[in-house]
Structure 1
Amino acid sequence: MIDLASWEPNTHGQNTEKITTFPRISEPITYDYFFREFLEKNKPCVFSNSFTKEWRARSDWVTPSSTPDVHYLKQNFGEAEVPVADCDQKHYDSQEKKTYKLEEYIEYWNGQRETSSGRKQCLYLKDWHFVRAFPNYHAYTTPQYFASDWLNEFWEVREDIQDDYQFVYIGPKGSWTPFHADVFRSYSWSANVCGRKRWVFYPPGEDQFLRDPFGTPIYDVDSAELSDASKYPKAPSAIGRVEVIQEQGETIFVPSGWHHQVWNLEDTISINHNWLNGANIHIAWNFLVESLNQVEYAIRDCNEMDDWVGQCQLLLRATHGMDYHEFYTFLRTVARRRIDCLTGKELISFGSWKIGKNHTIYDLKKLEWCLEKLLDDERLDTIKSFSDMEDHPSQLLEEVILALS
């Protein structure tokens, strides 16, 4: 096992560093260096293909000509159900999705890309929970730099619902993902098993210039709409755009709150994770509060209704992905495992990486900060699920403080 931490904890927060080109990492660096220079500074980078060269997926899923081996995928996983997006059909701020069997998607891939009217289809297999569906296949190993992953740690130990934020994407040349920032304002990493991608990034805050008068972000940053001053009057003020081409085998680290859009320049397979940890939990908390403020404002004229607070939490969960109660359950799960770690219980992340003592202390200090913010929110006492809770956030905060002492 490898210890993920050897530094003294730093809880002073995080500033996004402005960049004009992506730093490229071709040789191994220490975890400490990556944590300080990229996670805490919320700065993107690209890892070379040497970091994924031993992955099983890079041999099993790729033909000798470096294209997706769809025959192998169909033969081994053809019965799996997969989500598929139609890149030509807009659904709100995303693309319309349907569920296929993988073998059906491969049939499309192998030449049936036209509709009965002769229109070319562009279908993109996205957000396939491959690890959950095939836990014993071991297609890849999560790099050490991304192994402090509270989000997938939380879902791994949950027994009430099965889910995770570990995905496989398979898309033909020309498939793409609209302009967005990642769920919960999490970090993400994306590794090309084969193929090439073009990425366009805007750092946190720049997205405000790429929204219409109603606050809706642009769907496609390459569209002519963006030059329409009546629709996007602030667009000329967006000056932080950064582009990068991701080659086969390379891995991109996407920091919290960086809006981005992605195109497949070739037929491509990629592996992607979203994750939160102590370095960006404050961003996730602030985004949760911001999302609740937006919900409350949207239905402010209904604040006389029965259990208005509860209805706001339901809408928050539907639009954001978490409400206050689930966010607290998430914090509690992570905190208890780190308290146990300080008393001698080993904490393993992704099978091979051990969370060390200093890393545990760092995490607990960030959890302490977040619990204090939650308890300071005056809305907490009005949420029914907290009022009768035996395991109240105040109790957990005391446990964290005691463990740190």
Structure 2
Amino acid sequence: MDGRVKVVGQVECVDGASLTYAEFVDRFMAPNRPVVLTGLTASWRACEDWTLPGPGDRRRPDLSFFARNFPSPLVQVADCSSREFTDQKRLEMSMQEFIDHWVGDAHGGSSAGDRESSLLYLKDWHFVKEYPDYVAYTTPTFFVDDWLNMYLDSHPIHRDSDIANHKNEINCSDYRFVYMGEKGTWTPLHADVFRSYSWSANICGRKQWLFLPPSQSHRVFDRYMRSSVYNLNDDVSEKLFPEFNKTEWLECIQEQNEIIFVPSGWYHQVHNLWNLLYEDYKVAKEYIEDIRDICDDFEGLCQRNLAANTGMNFYDFFIFIVRFALANVIELYHVQQPEVATFSTETAHHFVYNLKSIRNVASKMLTTEAFTTENLRSISEDNRNAFSNVKQILEEESFRRLLVILSKWKVKRLHPFVAIGLFNSSMQKMSLRM
């Protein structure tokens, strides 16, 4: 990054094939540390179908395969040279248009100046949702317990009709993404949605990651904690971001067929190299604090802002964990029945651990202003029923589907589309880069 950031170490690289789940939890998940995992993608269909032989052992993208087999009507593309608010400008185009642009660049179809201004990066393509019968990968054991995608396979992200809208529901329908980009495409500095855990598999190409630990995340914000550094390659203003020069970063170069685990709350920026929720709530609340006295429903406004800016508010998240609490209780009951041949002490302990984690999070949430008696009286009927009417929850077809998915995980007969992960689980990104 041209010396603009202070790199103090490298992300550890581990042979994932010889790493046990318990070791992964103890060494990386529990201490919230990033890691690069090797040896886990050899059998993936994506590694064979999506690439062609390249120089040496390297592979290159088979763009014609995508054009022939995945003719999505529209894909979302980021213009890496154009900023729009806190992200890159987003465009919609057909897959064929995106591939034509990429191929045109690769064959010198643009001048150097035009090329710099036209780097397009296909992002957030909900590939698994669009093509559920095409099994591109097998989720590594470390990331299978994927609560958020299990939930979103059968539930909407929002219950409150004041927040939900059709386009937003589609965009939040799952968090299993495919990314495709040429040399020079990049993702601005950010922490992952919902401050989740995530994982990203690189099918081909190389990319550079820079990571900042959560203990230093305040240093990439201005003094009011309202805006953050956008691009580490820019000359970051010391006046606007007075703490930035104290940041210390970890770096890694992710090669093809490697998977990187991105822990919760780590800010990171990613560059393609070669040619082939509580903190968010506090920020939202502080930002509009000055209108509290003239707003009849200040907490409701906070929650609507939180949903708009992070994808999920406190009530959405509480509905989410209520369903997982009930589902884990039901599965724990069944797994301990004498007639159940699949009984496993380890599985039972896992469900108990899940319930303890949910209880800890829920206890903290109940101390916030959103859950005062006064504010609970003013929430929508949809939200109230969604997290307090147990009978209604148990009768929901969507909840029954969630139980089926969780039960399949329990007996280790994993459905092919079980997730690229998230939240106290994980979010995955499949990357095809050149």
- Per the shorter chain, which TM-score range? 0.7 to 0.9
Q: Which amino acid aligns with 1:29?
A: L
Q: For residues 231 and 312 of structure 1, do their structure 2 counterparts lie closer, same or farther at Cα, with a shift above 3 Å needed?
A: closer
Which one is further off, 92-101 or 113-122? 113-122
The structural deviation recorded for 1:209 is 2.3
Deviations 1:255-274 (A, max 9, x none): 11111100001256xxxxxx
Out of 71, 75, 81, which is 2:74 matched to?
81
Deviations 1:346-393 (A, max 9, x none): 9xxxxxxx9921111100001111222222324312142278935656
The structural deviation recorded for 1:71 is 0.5
Q: Which residue of 2 aligns with 1:301?
A: 290
TM-score w.r.t. length of structure 1: 0.80
Give unpaired runs (5+ residues) of structure 1.
1-18, 269-287, 347-353, 400-405
C-alpha separation between the residues in 2 aligned to 1:116 and 1:67? 23
Q: Which residue of 2 aligns with 1:373?
A: 364
C-alpha separation between the residues in 2 aligned to 1:40 and 1:370? 16
Q: For residues 119 and 374 of structure 1, do their structure 2 counterparts lie closer, same or farther at Cα, with a shift above 3 Å needed?
A: same
Q: For residues 99 and 139 of structure 1, do their structure 2 counterparts lie closer, same or farther at Cα, with a shift above 3 Å needed?
A: same
Q: Is 1:168 aligned to 2:178, yes or no?
A: yes
Q: For residues 138 and 180 of structure 1, do their structure 2 counterparts lie closer, same or farther at Cα, with a shift above 3 Å needed?
A: same
Contact 1:328 1:393 in 2 (8 A): no
| Pairs within 5 Å for 1:64-143 | 64-65=53-54, 66-111=59-104, 119-120=114-115, 121-143=118-140
The structural deviation recorded for 1:394 is 11
Q: For residues 106 and 392 of structure 1, do their structure 2 counterparts lie closer, same or farther at Cα, with a shift above 3 Å needed?
A: closer
Give unpaired runs (5+ residues) of structure 2.
1-7, 158-168, 337-343, 395-434
Q: Is 1:60 aligned to 2:49, yes or no?
A: yes
The structural deviation recorded for 1:328 is 1.0
C-alpha separation between the residues in 2 aligned to 1:156 and 1:390? 20
Q: Which amino acid aligns with 2:103?
A: N
Greater relative contact order (Cα < 8 A, sep 6+): 2
Contact 1:210 1:217 in 2 (8 A): yes
SS in 1 for 2:104: coil
Deviations 1:64-105 (A, max 9, x none): 111100011111012342110000000111100011111111
TM-score w.r.t. length of structure 2: 0.75
Q: Which amino acid aligns with 1:389?
A: R
SS in 2 for 1:212: coil
Aligned residues: 350
Out of 373, 378, 385, which is 2:379 matched to?
385
Deviations 1:94-149 (A, max 9, x none): 10001111111111111058679961110000110000000000011111101111
Superposition RMSD on alpha carbons, in Å? 2.7
Q: Which residue of 2 aligns with 1:260?
A: 268
C-alpha separation between the residues in 1 aligned to 2:334 and 2:46? 36
Contact 1:68 1:267 in 2 (8 A): no
Q: Which amino acid aligns with 2:328?
A: R
Q: Which residue of 2 aligns with 1:149?
A: 146
Identity %: 37
Q: Which residue of 1 aligns with 2:208?
A: 198
Q: For residues 292 and 236 of structure 1, do their structure 2 counterparts lie closer, same or farther at Cα, with a shift above 3 Å needed?
A: closer
Q: Is 1:188 aligned to 2:178, yes or no?
A: no
Out of 220, 223, 247, which is 2:255 matched to?
247
SS in 2 for 1:389: helix
Q: For residues 323 and 262 of structure 1, do their structure 2 counterparts lie closer, same or farther at Cα, with a shift above 3 Å needed?
A: same
Q: Which residue of 1 aligns with 2:242?
A: 233
Q: Which amino acid aligns with 2:153?
A: E
Q: Is 1:211 aligned to 2:238, yes or no?
A: no
